[in-house]
Amino acid sequence: MTQVPVDLREIEPGIVQITMQDKEHKNTFSDGLMEGLIRAFAAINANDRYKVVIITGYDSYFASGGTQEALLAIYESKVNFNDTNLYSLALDCRIPVISAMQGHGIGGGFVFGLFADFVVLSKESIYTTNFMKYGFTPGMGATYVLPWKLGIALTQELLLTANNFRGVELEKRGIPFPVLPRAEVLDYALQLARQLAEKPRVSLITLKDHLVSGAREQLPGIIEKEVAMHGKTFHLAEVKDRIMGLFGK
């Protein structure tokens, strides 16, 4: 039986878990993964029992960003990254979201996880905003969520250098998130989810609305600016060469 790219299930009363498990594509944003995520969050927002979401990946992968085909489609002006809104699924979710990033978070995959209300990283995994590795400027709301969550100095290093960082290295840099051995990430997230699930659902929704209202208001303007930067940077011949030669390395 073929495994679905995204599994959604209520693991305890009020706690729902999204597992990204597109092993064929190593949790890059394939059509199946994107469609599964959009359906999962729509189902969560429509369910009045749920109080908290845990989103995680499989094995050593959390989320790996755009596929090579998708990057080439943007290069060829066939699509923009904002044609499919993945970046704000966690931000717009009515209830709190915990990113249990037990595995690698690559490019847009790392950015996607950072939009959650709570983030848990693993010591062993690689986290990178590698857009500039391919020569194009960041998207997915990266230029907003990174300084918001990580601070401007680390953001500049992550975005401009496109370097890889292990979770343990980010921990040493003072990031404000728990960084645990991979095997402990999901358990930690579950314990946190249980604490949240003790609270009244209306109170969780009301407080989240207040805490993220500024981000929800500002993000659309940021996305417009990122798309405009793509108009200047994504269509360079060098970018296509890099996508073809460096993807997955």
Residues annotated catalytic, as ranges: 230
Starting at the edge strand found earlier in the chain, the sheet holding 52-56 runs 6-12, 15-20, 52-56, 97-101, 118-122, 179-180
Residue with tokens 């094995």: 59
Residue with tokens 């095997």: 183
User: What secondary structure does DSSP assign to 167-182, as a single string?
Assistant: HHHHHHTT-SS-EE-H
- Alpha-carbon distance of 101 to 209, in angstroms, equals 23
Alpha carbons within 13 A on the beta-carbon side of 165: 24
